[in-house]
Amino acid sequence: MAEKPDVGFVACIEGGVLEAQTLLLFDSIRLHTGRFRDCPLYALSPRAGHTISLNTRTKLNDLGAHYIDTILNTESPPSMGLPIGWQQPRTSKTRAVMIYW
């Protein structure tokens, strides 16, 4: 049996379209990625004022995703995207590979 890959998946999640897209991504990872299906999932909400719904938080929990709503982006205007928010989540074990979406 193959060793479990040391990979984590990270996605930005905010209220609105990104909620649905991130849930679809994470659901697809759990259902269709073979040996990667049990890898950690991280949903980052790095900007203030872009809260996700309680329903989405429940679905993230059901998928075993780690939800992080720490404000990371305090320097870049919204039109510049989220470059400061794309930081590796702090975990007790650093993953060999982090896949960001």
Residues 29 and 7: beta-carbon distance below 8 Å? no
Does residue 94 sit within a domain?
Answer: no
97-100 vs 66-68, strand pairing mode: unpaired
Does residue 77 sit within a domain?
Answer: yes
pLDDT of residue 49: 86
Residue 70: CATH number of its domain: 3.40.50
40-96 confidence digits (pLDDT tens): 999 988 888 889 999 999 999 999 999 998 877 666 555 444 444 444 454 445 556
Does residue 88 sit within a domain?
Answer: no
Which CA distances in Å does 86 have to 9, 34, 35, 37, 58? 12, 26, 25, 22, 23
Q: Residue 56's domain spans which residues?
A: 7-81
Q: 17-32 and 54-62 are packed helices; what angle lies between their axes, rounded to 10 degrees?
A: 10
Is this model's pTM higher than 0.85 or not? no
pLDDT of residue 42: 92
Number of domain units in the chain: 1
Does residue 69 sit within a domain?
Answer: yes
